Amino acid sequence: MSTTGILEFLTIFILAIFVGNEVVARVPSILHTPLMSGSNAIHGIVLVGAMIIMGTATGTAQIILGFFAVLLATLNIVGGFTVTDRMLEMFKSKPGDGPPRGGSKSKSADAEGGAK
Amino acid sequence: MSTTGILEFLTIFILAIFVGNEVVARVPSILHTPLMSGSNAIHGIVLVGAMIIMGTATGTAQIILGFFAVLLATLNIVGGFTVTDRMLEMFKSKPGDGPPRGGSKSKSADAEGGAK
Amino acid sequence: MTLTIWIDLIYLLAAVAFIVALKGLSSPKQARNGNLLAAGAAIVAVGATFFNPEAQFSSHTTNLILAIVAMVLGAVIAVPVARMVKMTAMPQLVAIFNGVGGGAAALISITVFLQHSDSAAKPAVYTIAEVLLGLLIGCVSFSGSAIAFAKLQELMTGRPITYPAQQVINGLVGVAIVALALATLLTGSVTLMVITAVLSLVLGIIFVLPIGGADVPVLISLLNSFTGLAVAASGFTLDNNLLIIAGTLVGASGILLTRMMSKAMGRSLSNVLFSAFGSVVTAAGGADGTGETRQVKTGTPEDIGVLLAYARKVVIIPGYGLAVAQAQHTARELADLLMERGVEVFYAIHPVAGRMPGHMNVLLAEANVPYDELKEMDEANPEMATADVALVVGANDTVNPAAKNTPGSPIYGMPIINADEAEHVIFLKRSMRPGFAGIDNELLFNEKTTLLFGDAKDTLAKLVAGVQEA
Amino acid sequence: MTLTIWIDLIYLLAAVAFIVALKGLSSPKQARNGNLLAAGAAIVAVGATFFNPEAQFSSHTTNLILAIVAMVLGAVIAVPVARMVKMTAMPQLVAIFNGVGGGAAALISITVFLQHSDSAAKPAVYTIAEVLLGLLIGCVSFSGSAIAFAKLQELMTGRPITYPAQQVINGLVGVAIVALALATLLTGSVTLMVITAVLSLVLGIIFVLPIGGADVPVLISLLNSFTGLAVAASGFTLDNNLLIIAGTLVGASGILLTRMMSKAMGRSLSNVLFSAFGSVVTAAGGADGTGETRQVKTGTPEDIGVLLAYARKVVIIPGYGLAVAQAQHTARELADLLMERGVEVFYAIHPVAGRMPGHMNVLLAEANVPYDELKEMDEANPEMATADVALVVGANDTVNPAAKNTPGSPIYGMPIINADEAEHVIFLKRSMRPGFAGIDNELLFNEKTTLLFGDAKDTLAKLVAGVQEA
Ligand SMILES: NC(=O)c1ccc[n+]([C@@H]2O[C@H](COP(=O)([O-])OP(=O)(O)OC[C@H]3O[C@@H](n4cnc5c(N)ncnc54)[C@H](OP(=O)(O)O)[C@@H]3O)[C@@H](O)[C@H]2O)c1
Ligand SMILES: NC(=O)c1ccc[n+]([C@@H]2O[C@H](COP(=O)([O-])OP(=O)(O)OC[C@H]3O[C@@H](n4cnc5c(N)ncnc54)[C@H](OP(=O)(O)O)[C@@H]3O)[C@@H](O)[C@H]2O)c1
């Protein structure tokens, strides 16, 4: 059964390749970076694997390894989603809706003041 | 294991849904019919299932059912691929390359002769 | 064990090939290769199945022989039918090949059910559930396709068959099937299983009855998707990844395709399935067309030939009648002749002209019409206003301005080819009868319009002669 | 057992959510929701893992506490960093988050390897092969991302670092790794495994060294895809479908994305990876720009302000310098001001302007520039010939006509924004230094061109004032 198991996993792997390929096939270049960043966050789900490793770790070496695996994976997943959200926050379809940017306004006031 | 087996199958099923959906998402309307016909042929692979059923059939009832399952599935798969190929045969990118159609030529000759 | 692994690997490769093939079938250049790839993969997978230990052919020689007999028989029937049938009969052919696939899935389910009820061990609930699902969907697909075939082959009327409280009755049958399936699941009774199967066959029939002939191609696409799901269910039953993947692929892509098809007709899928579209027809249009008293203008082939020969820009709008008359070659001849004379000619292809999507493209491709002379509706419409002549060959609904102007009309909202914007409109048709939607076409009475009655192939040939004389 | 099923179902749902999220991330409207969906799914999946019997947390309380400590620590570090870093530093941030993911996958592999070598039962060959694969790819991704980070953060030179026979040496290291991995597979030796890991780290470094700073974003995308594959390998190791699907999704989509990115730069992926692009720079352009003797034309903010104010159509072409100067808001201000005066203004966005794809869109979106004022290159170029002024703000390579005219040039063949077709070209930059490709720009010497030296934010502010006075 473990040998047929591996075939099932292989099947899932191959299907996922097709899905991955098709799903991003039409991404506009404007979204290349957010997509890269977002998929970077998605592979942070390796945290689940790291947790399993950590839970079953025995002996100091394994525990240290597991600890760092969890730490690194957490950095990946938390940082990844946060930074992606920050990028995407800026894409608003109706920019007029957002509150005016304080920084830009005051800066422009400076510039005007200085020039006139 | 059989319960985790079903989950693996479910996973494969779900991934296949995504693949199926994505893969045809951009089909031009000109290919709707060949695509329908071609995918009709693809599900003819039920023949593999029918053969397995036929091979393991015991008793007259099962053998008769299996026989017809194989027969019907063969009709589907053979007929499906043949008819699709026939449809697609007609899509040539450089139509000038093909031999002129005898039927049309003679017919037009008739028409011309009759009219002049 | 090792053999099983190899066979499973072959199945996996076949599944991958099917995906690639389906992708190919979605692009004009790769379509034919895609189909051949899928066929090759299917042959390899079927060949491997002879050696599949699960099929036990090595120990069941009789079964093996019978399987081969069935396969040979199937191939001997299928190939000539598929090769020889007329292009116009393609939709019903697809319907019937689809139906038998559903039937095969249903038979597999029945056999597995019998095997389980013979054996002492009680199978898991979900195993039987999968079996019943395959049975149910397979039966609906089988009988539904049969009725679709009958409608298109004109073994029965193409008109929607309606009766009072139809949807309610259909719904009740559906509920009864679910209840029976649950009862079968709990009791494992063979009798209940058979009743469920029979009722599913009935459901397939009554589901299709109210759908008009013109909508049947959409329906076939839906039933095609159903058969895919039935095959996937068989795959679950037999623990076979290939069937699961292939079936699901077809099931998922089929539903999307069905929706695209109905969208191309300017309608929603539920409207196609449940509105008994076209049933008003008998009351409104009349099938004989004799009730018509208003005046129309007809022309002679010579007059129209001159008009065409001295036009700058002629748009040919083909429709179902072109297919019926098999007039694609003659149309091409006329177009070539005009182009030789320096007239700008192209074909404006409506997505649902004819009786199946892409029908016109297939026909015109058969007549070796170059791609660049074909324009899809969206591309053609902006050019209509500058066309001197719109030559409508056996089309009707797809140029009917009622789709734009008459809110009550059944085709209201469907995009049309704006033939009415051209300076002259020529209609080649046999009579004043309406098209498949069964509604009158105001454009026939328009003062721009000239009619030339007759079979499209004949009238086109006469126009060829007319142009040559001009 | 039942708990396992539920957890597996949750994992499956999370995998589906990831697919849907990735789809969302590919469409401008759904991108943010997609990311939130993925984040939500990840939280649920991680939460479920606490209860996963496989993780044995219920019997290993110390491990549980340590895991929570590690997670809290990770979150406490990651969130502020991700929140506070400057927009221009995004690429290196993505690099580092990607690298640690690869590192986590490598650590998982090492731990599993140790567990196997501790246990008496000999695992199947493919199990160890999967472990080694995860180790190898994870290590390459980790060290490669670290170098990429160092290059972008300018902890080391952004120039390609080359040495003789570089590709040969890299190839040999690769071969050595494969040989060592095979030896590890056969012997199960922990020492060999560690050596393999170390060599893989080295490979990651030497693979990235010859890649120039401007190409690093493409590289990060590739390493991102690698980490995805490493995670998929971990999934195989741990029999975990969620990791397999999520990792493979990222792996497959990442490779496609990488190719799209290099295509947008007019180059092939192998050219980006292996050509040490930009290494000629030091010889040719010179980093100080003092070698230049030819004459250029400069203008005052007042002159240019008048030119802009009385133009009919102004095209703003932003580039990396806009990002460095954080001048997006001031650019918007100038554009708004001009539009108030009735000037037609739009931004022409080159796909690889800036240092990461979409960089300009992100910046301008941050400045609340409406979508409809942004035009992609293909849309903008046909309009350049009718523009009165092309205002190039901190861009250089992306408007360099050498890409069209100079076959020997390293950027030859890259599509550019045709600023040279506009009637006037204004360049806002700080000096005569070249852009990232390190090559001279003939357009700077064109007689149409006027330069205004200075930090883009300052010069734009001066132009705002100039226009107001005009
Ligand atoms: N393509 C699809 O996928 C699809 C699917 C489902 C439904 N439909 C429906 O089918 C219709 C297609 O529109 P259409 O404009 O192509 O066709 P149509 O509206 O059905 O009109 C066809 C016309 O051709 C004429 N005709 C029939 N045989 C002829 C012959 N031998 N020579 C010359 N004329 C002949 C008929 O008039 P006479 O009898 O007077 O000759 C009829 O008016 C639409 O309503 C569409 O919604 C299409
Ligand atoms: N976007 C991507 O994904 C990506 C990825 C990899 C590589 N690249 C490469 O990056 C380059 C992008 O082209 P580009 O036209 O955007 O930029 P560029 O060619 O790198 O030119 C940037 C220009 O901005 C000027 N600049 C720098 N800081 C400034 C400031 N504070 N104020 C005003 N000007 C400033 C610089 O000149 P001074 O020093 O004289 O001011 C420089 O000439 C291309 O070669 C592309 O292939 C892009």
Element (DSSP H or E) covering residue D315:
strand D313-318
Statement: residue B97 has pLDDT above 50: no
Q: If you average pLDDT over residues C435-445, what whole number do you get?
A: 85
Cβ–Cβ contact D44 with A under 8 A = no
Query: Atom 41, ligand 2: which residue's CA is nearest?
Result: D430
pLDDT of residue D163: 84
Report the C-alpha gap between C394 and D15 in whole angstroms.
Answer: 51
Q: For residue D153, name the pLDDT band (cuts at 50, 70, 90).
A: confident
pLDDT of residue B88: 83
Do the Cβ atoms of D5 and B15 come within 8 Å?
A: no
Statement: residue C70 has pLDDT above 70: yes
pLDDT of residue D120: 76
Statement: residue C468 has pLDDT above 70: yes
Is residue B19 situated within a structural domain?
no
Is residue A77 situated within a structural domain?
yes
Query: Atom 8, ligand 2: which residue's CA is nearest?
Result: D214
Of C1, C5, C241, the CB nearest to A11: C241
CB D21 within 8 A of CB D41: yes
Q: If you average pLDDT over residues C103-128, what whole number do you get?
A: 89
Measure Cα distances from C87 to B81, C261, C365, C449 in Å: 15, 19, 12, 30
| Ligand 1 atom at minimum distance from C261 CA | 3
pLDDT of residue C277: 59
Q: For residue C261, name the pLDDT band (cuts at 50, 70, 90).
A: confident
Q: For residue D313, name the pLDDT band (cuts at 50, 70, 90).
A: very high
pLDDT of residue A90: 67
* Amino acid making up residue D405: N
pLDDT of residue C447: 86
Do the Cβ atoms of B19 and A23 come within 8 Å?
A: no
Report the C-alpha gap between C84 and A87 in whole angstroms.
Answer: 60
Q: For residue C125, name the pLDDT band (cuts at 50, 70, 90).
A: confident
CA C220 centroid distance within chain: 5
Q: For residue B91, name the pLDDT band (cuts at 50, 70, 90).
A: low
**Helix, strand or coil, per DSSP, at residue D396:** coil
* Strand D374-376 relative to strand C374-376, pairing: unpaired
Nearest to D350 by CA among D436, D284, D457: D436
Q: Judge if the beta carbon of residue D392 lies within 6 A of ligand 2.
A: no
Cβ–Cβ contact B24 with C under 8 A = yes
- Which of B2, B6, B11 to substitute to test the interface with A, most A CBs within 10 Å? B11
Label residues C9-20 b or e (16+ Cβ within 10 Å = b). ebbbbbbbbbbb
Query: Atom 8, ligand 1: which residue's CA is nearest?
Result: C214
Q: For residue A112, name the pLDDT band (cuts at 50, 70, 90).
A: very low
Cβ–Cβ contact B75 with C under 8 A = yes
Do the Cβ atoms of B114 and C224 come within 8 Å?
A: no
Instruction: Find chain A residues with C-beta within 8 A of D243's C-beta.
Output: 45-46, 48-49
Tell which A residues from 31 to 60 touch C, by Cβ distance under 8 Å. none
Statement: residue B19 has pLDDT above 50: yes
* Strand D389-393 relative to strand D374-376, pairing: unpaired
Q: For residue D154, name the pLDDT band (cuts at 50, 70, 90).
A: confident
pLDDT of residue D287: 39
HEC states along D61-108? HHHHHHHHHHHHHHHHHHHHHHHHCCHHHHHHHHHHHHHHHHHHHHHH
Query: Do chain D and chain B touch with ≥3 beta carbon pairs under 8 Å?
Result: yes
Q: For residue A107, name the pLDDT band (cuts at 50, 70, 90).
A: very low
Q: Judge if the beta carbon of residue C358 lies within 6 A of ligand 1.
A: no
Report the C-alpha gap between D59 and D56 in whole angstroms.
Answer: 6
Widest Cα–Cα separation across chain A = 82
Report the C-alpha gap between D70 and D68 in whole angstroms.
Answer: 5
CB D151 within 8 A of CB D216: yes
Q: What percent of chain D has pLDDT over 70?
A: 95
| Structural class in CATH, domain D301-469 | alpha beta
For residue D283, give every residue at least 6 positions away whose Cβ sits within 8 Å of its Cβ, in sequence order, or none: none
Q: For residue C152, name the pLDDT band (cuts at 50, 70, 90).
A: confident
Q: If you average pLDDT over residues C121-136, what whole number do you get?
A: 89
In this structure, of A99-108, C185-194, D3-12, the range with the lowest mean pLDDT score is A99-108
Question: D386-396, pLDDT tens digit by residue?
Answer: 999 999 999 99
Neighbours of chain A (3+ CB pairs under 8 A): B, C, D
Q: If you average pLDDT over residues B47-57, what whole number do you get?
A: 95
User: Residue D344: what are its φ and ψ, rounded to 5°?
Assistant: -80, 120
Q: If you average pLDDT over residues C350-371, what whole number do you get?
A: 81
* Amino acid making up residue D129: A
Report the C-alpha gap between C149 and C211 in whole angstroms.
Answer: 12
Report the C-alpha gap between C161 and D294 in whole angstroms.
Answer: 86
Instruction: Name residue D197's beta-bridge partners.
Output: none
Report the C-alpha gap between C20 and D37 in whole angstroms.
Answer: 30
Cβ–Cβ contact D16 with B under 8 A = yes
Instruction: Find chain A residues with C-beta within 8 A of C12's C-beta.
Output: 7, 10-11, 14
Question: A27-68, pLDDT tens digit by residue?
Answer: 877 788 889 999 999 999 999 999 999 999 999 999 999 999
Is residue B107 situated within a structural domain?
no
Query: Atom 9, ligand 2: which residue's CA is nearest?
Result: D214
Q: For residue D298, name the pLDDT band (cuts at 50, 70, 90).
A: confident
The dihedral over CA atoms of C256, C258, C264, C267, expressed in degrees to the nearest 10, equals -110
For residue D255, give every residue at least 6 positions away whose Cβ sits within 8 Å of its Cβ, in sequence order, or none: D222, D225
CB A29 within 8 A of CB D260: yes
HEC states along C168-198? HHHHHHHHHHHHHHHHHHHHCCHHHHHHHHH
Cβ–Cβ contact A23 with C under 8 A = no
pLDDT of residue C276: 65
* Mean confidence (pLDDT) of chain D: 88
Q: Judge if the beta carbon of residue C290 lies within 6 A of ligand 1.
A: no
* Mean confidence (pLDDT) of chain A: 78
Measure Cα distances from C101 to A105, B70, C224 in Å: 68, 10, 9
Active-site residue (options: C397, C420, C440, C458): C397
Statement: residue B115 has pLDDT above 60: no
Question: D4-19, pLDDT tens digit by residue?
Answer: 889 999 999 999 999 9
pLDDT of residue C34: 93
Element (DSSP H or E) covering residue D425:
strand D424-429
Q: If you average pLDDT over residues D438-462, what whole number do you get?
A: 90
In this structure, of A86-100, C6-20, C246-260, the range with the lowest mean pLDDT score is A86-100
Q: For residue C165, name the pLDDT band (cuts at 50, 70, 90).
A: confident
User: Residue D449: what are its φ and ψ, rounded to 5°?
Assistant: -90, 140
Domain boundaries, chain C: 98-238+254-279, 301-469
Q: Judge if the beta carbon of residue C357 lies within 6 A of ligand 1.
A: yes
Q: Judge if the beta carbon of residue D344 lies within 6 A of ligand 2.
A: no
User: Residue C415: what are its φ and ψ, rounded to 5°?
Assistant: -70, 140
Question: C441-467, pLDDT tens digit by residue?
Answer: 889 988 889 999 999 999 999 999 989
Instruction: Find chain B residues with C-beta within 8 A of C355's C-beta.
Output: none
Q: If you average pLDDT over residues C152-167, what whole number do you get?
A: 84
Q: Judge if the beta carbon of residue D356 lies within 6 A of ligand 2.
A: yes
Is residue B74 situated within a structural domain?
yes
For B48, the closest chain C residue by CA position comes to C46
Q: For residue D276, name the pLDDT band (cuts at 50, 70, 90).
A: low
Q: How many residues does chain B have?
A: 116
Other CB atoms within 10 A of residue C382 CB: 11
For B15, the closest chain D residue by CA position comes to D16
Q: What percent of chain D has pLDDT over 90?
A: 58
Of B1, B8, B23, the CB nearest to A22: B23
Instruction: Name residue C374's beta-bridge partners.
Output: C347
CA C286 centroid distance within chain: 26
Statement: residue C281 has pLDDT above 60: no
HEC states along C250-279? HHHHHHHHHHHHHHHCCCCHHHHHHCCCCC
Tell which C residues from 173 to 192 touch B, by Cβ distance under 8 Å. none
Q: What percent of chain C has pLDDT over 90?
A: 58
How many angstroms separate the CA of residue B28 from the nearest CA in chain D? 21
Q: For residue B55, name the pLDDT band (cuts at 50, 70, 90).
A: very high
Ligand 1, residues C159, C224, C436: which to mutate, most atoms within 8 A of Cβ? C436
Statement: residue D430 has pLDDT above 80: yes
Query: Do chain A and chain C touch with ≥3 beta carbon pairs under 8 Å?
Result: yes
How many angstroms separate the CA of residue C233 from the nearest CA in chain A? 17
CB B73 within 8 A of CB B44: yes
Instruction: Name residue C349's beta-bridge partners.
Output: C376
For residue D215, give every residue at least 6 positions away whose Cβ sits within 8 Å of its Cβ, in sequence order, or none: D265, D272, D277, D278
Q: If you average pLDDT over residues D314-323, what whole number do you get?
A: 93
Measure Cα distances from D330 to A111, D52, D86, D335 in Å: 9, 53, 17, 9
Residue position matching structure tokens 């020039």: A115
Nearest to D16 by CA among A65, C322, A19, C286: A19
pLDDT of residue D91: 84
Q: For residue C293, name the pLDDT band (cuts at 50, 70, 90).
A: low
Of B3, B4, B14, the CB nearest to D16: B14
| Ligand 1 atom at minimum distance from C414 CA | 47
Cβ–Cβ contact B1 with D under 8 A = no
pLDDT of residue D277: 59
Residue position matching structure tokens 């942070």: A44
**Burial category of D338 from C-beta neighbours within 10 Å (exposed 0-12, middle 13-18, buried 19 and up):** buried
Statement: residue C67 has pLDDT above 90: yes
Ligand 1, residues C397, C414, C451: which to mutate, most atoms within 8 A of Cβ? C397
Do the Cβ atoms of A62 and D261 come within 8 Å?
A: no
Statement: residue D436 has pLDDT above 80: no
Q: If you write DSSP's letter for every residue of D110-136 in order, what string do you get?
A: HHHHHHHHHSSSPPPHHHHHHHHHHHH
| Chain pair B-D, CB pairs under 8 angstroms | 20
Q: Judge if the beta carbon of residue C265 lies within 6 A of ligand 1.
A: yes
Report the C-alpha gap between D332 and D364 in whole angstroms.
Answer: 8
Please give the residue range of the domain that contains residue A40: 29-100
pLDDT of residue D207: 93
Nearest to C236 by CA among C127, C316, C330: C127
* Amino acid making up residue B39: S
Statement: residue D217 has pLDDT above 70: yes
Is residue A20 situated within a structural domain?
no
Q: If you write DSSP's letter for every residue of C10-38 in order, what string do you get?
A: HHHHHHHHHHHHHHHHTSTTTHHHHHHHH
User: Which of B73-77, D286-290, D379-383 is most confident?
Assistant: B73-77
User: What total of structural domains would you count in chain B?
Assistant: 1
pLDDT of residue C264: 72
pLDDT of residue D192: 95
How many angstroms separate the CA of residue B68 from the nearest CA in chain C? 7
Ligand 1, residues C267, C296, C396, C431: which to mutate, most atoms within 8 A of Cβ? C396
pLDDT of residue D274: 81
Statement: residue C145 has pLDDT above 90: yes
Do the Cβ atoms of D15 and B11 come within 8 Å?
A: yes
The answer to whether residue C397 is catalytic is yes
Cβ–Cβ contact D51 with A under 8 A = no
Q: H-type helices in C85-152, by residue range?
A: 90-118, 125-152
pLDDT of residue D1: 56
Statement: residue C346 has pLDDT above 90: yes
Q: If you average pLDDT over residues D319-334, what whole number do you get?
A: 91
The dihedral over CA atoms of D297, D303, D305, D306, expressed in degrees to the nearest 10, equals -130
Is residue B60 situated within a structural domain?
yes
Cβ–Cβ contact B10 with D under 8 A = yes
Instruction: Find chain A residues with C-beta within 8 A of D251's C-beta.
Output: 17, 20
Cβ–Cβ contact B113 with C under 8 A = no
Q: If you write DSSP's letter for every residue of chain A in order, what string do you get?
A: -HHHHHHHHHHHHHHHHHHHHHHTTT--GGGHHHHHHHHHHHGGGHHHHHHHHHHH--HHHHHHHHHHHHHHHHIIIIIHHHHHHHHHHT--S-GGGSPPPHHHHHHHHHHHHHH-
Sign of CA dihedral D458, D459, D464, D470: positive
Q: For residue C323, name the pLDDT band (cuts at 50, 70, 90).
A: confident
Cβ–Cβ contact D470 with A under 8 A = no
Q: For residue A105, name the pLDDT band (cuts at 50, 70, 90).
A: very low
